[in-house]
Structures are given as C-alpha cells and as structure tokens.
Amino acid sequence: MNLHIRLEAAKNALNTLIKQPVATLMTVLALAIVLALPVGLFAALNNLQQLLGQWRDQAQISLFLHRDASAAEVQNLQVLLERGIGVASVRYVGKEAALAEFEHHAGMTAAIQTLGENPLPASFVVELNPLAQSPSALQTLVAYWGRQPGVASAQSDLHWVARLQAILALGKRAVWILAGLLAVGAILVMGNTIRLHIAQRRDEIDVASLVGATRAFIRRPFLYQGLFQGAVAGMIAWLIVAITVTVLQGPVEQLAELYGARFHLLGLNSGQGLILVAASALLGWLGSRLAVGRHLDHTFS
C-alpha cells in the first residue's frame, strides 16, 4: 500500500511538471547551467593533470655512477629505480654514450680530445611523473637513490614540481568553494520553484490538511518534483560538458600537434556522470524539502 502511494505521488508530480513545460524547462536549464560550471572546471583540472602527467621528460633525475661501480651494483640500482613510485622510465647512459651526447650538444670535440680520456661518468636518467608523489616525497626518494652503492651523485630540479602541485591544489580548492556556493544557489533556485508550486496549490493543501492528510502525504509530491527536476538538470549539465569537450577537441589537438604532442580531452566518464545526476537530484530534493517544510510548519502550526 505504501509503495502504491509513493508511485501515485511520483506520477502526480511528473504530470504536474509536464503540464507546465515552460516553467519546468526554465528551472531545469537554470539548474543545469549552475551545475555545468563547477563540473566543467573539474573536467578542465582533470585534463590539466593528464597533460602535466605527460611531461615526464621535464621531471628527470640524473644519477652519476662511480668510475669503479661494479656490474652487479649497476644492475641492482636499475632494478631499484624501475620499482620506484611514479617512475615512467629508466635509461642507462654509458660513458661512451655520454661523451657522444655531450659532443653533439656542446660542440667541444677538439677540447675533449686533448684530454686523452673520457672524463664523463656513466649515469642513469630517470623520468618521473611529476604528479605521482608530493615534492617532499620525491626529494626523499632522490636522496635515497643517491645513497645507493655505486652512485657518486644525484642531480635533480624538482622546484618546478612543487610550484606545479601548489597551483593545482589551489585550483582544486577554488573549484570546491565555487561548487559549494553554486550548490547552495541550486538549492535556492529549486526552493523558489517549489514555493511557486505550493502557492498555486495552497487551497488544495489547506483542504487536505483539514481532512486529516499527514505532512508526509502533502510533502511527497513536491519532493518528487524537486527530485525529477534535479535529475534532469544533472543530465543536461552532463550533456553541456560533453558538447563543450567535443567542440574544443579539434582546436586542442591542433595546438598539441604544433608542439609535437598528442592530447585528447577527457570529459566525464559514466561513473562521474551518474554521480553528477545523483548529486543534482539530491540538491533538487533538498531545495524542495526546505521550501515545503517551511510552508507545512506554517500550515500545521
């Protein structure tokens, strides 16, 4: 019996929304735009993290080996480096390869030939994902590698990683604050809309209360209205973000090609989209509950 009452209330709420298509559409679009802004910013931050994660060649650690490092020490060190958290690649550069690379970039072949021997040591070049660990953890890891047998010195420049992660953290916090403010705005928009519906049905509500209708019975259709409108607004917000990503995909790929890279924009996956719809439906429900609760407090007082 209770399930039948709930289904009937949901059906009545849906019919009410369908009978007022213009008002319903305006409310849903307003909520969708409010939701699409923070969700779009979250998607932008995710794409930025994806892009920065590809800059592994910019987060390099060079470990220079002792001249008398044994083959076993070199092999053990390579295994240790490859197991490191956030390590994208490990490349061994022998003495001859280091000399050839130095001559190619520095153009000092004649000067080096006067030395009579190769002054450059063998080394390991480790490429890291700059977002895999915190800067302090990366510094600790580099220091640990530098103390391994066979390692003469470790060279790294991770200051830009700290700045990068600080910027991303600031961006995430700003987006969360904006999302919170817009969520409050969404609740107020839905509350205002439901308040108008209540005003239109004030006589009906008063009569129902006089004949013994409970608060839950009166409140239920309005809660379903908020729930339905919030869910539809979440779907439209998801669609807005998907369309925006599709429109920007071509220009972003062209820009990436100019820098000799490939980059594909990411939108919301199915899990994130469902979370958006559920959160939007919850906001609609909360706005409706607040508006109906205030009216019922006045009616039943």
DSSP state, residue 117: S
What is the model's pLDDT at position 133? 77
- pTM reported for the whole predicted model: 0.68
**71, 75, 80, 84: CA torsion to nearest 10:** 120
Q: What Å distances lie between residue 233 and 8, 26, 28, 186, 288, CA to CA?
A: 23, 10, 5, 10, 15
For residue 104, count other CB atoms closer than 10 A to its CB.
9
Q: How far apart are CA 74 and CA 89, in angstroms?
A: 16
What is the model's pLDDT at position 1? 47
**Beta carbons of 268 and 241 less than 8 angstroms apart:** yes
Tens digit of pLDDT per residue, the chain (301 long)? 466 667 777 777 777 778 878 888 888 898 899 889 889 888 888 887 777 666 555 578 888 888 888 888 888 888 888 888 878 888 888 877 766 766 555 555 555 555 556 667 888 888 887 777 777 788 888 888 888 888 888 887 777 777 777 888 888 888 888 888 888 888 888 877 777 777 766 666 666 666 655 666 667 788 888 888 889 999 999 999 999 988 888 888 787 777 666 777 888 889 989 999 999 999 888 888 887 777 665 555 5
What is the model's pLDDT at position 52? 66
> pLDDT tens-digit profile of 224-238?
888 888 899 999 999
CA angle 177, 175, 86 (to 5 degrees): 125
Sketch out the chain's domains with CATH numbers.
1-55+162-296 (no CATH), 60-132 (3.30.70.3040)
Q: How far apart are CA 42 and CA 48, in angstroms?
A: 10
The closest of 167, 166, 138, 121 to 60, measured between CA atoms, is: 138
**Beta carbons of 297 and 258 less than 8 angstroms apart:** no
Strands 123-128 and 87-93: antiparallel
Q: What Å distances lie between residue 53 and 40, 50, 263, 281, CA to CA?
A: 20, 5, 11, 34
At 123, list the tokens.
Answer: 């080394």
Q: How far apart are CA 250 and CA 265, in angstroms?
A: 9
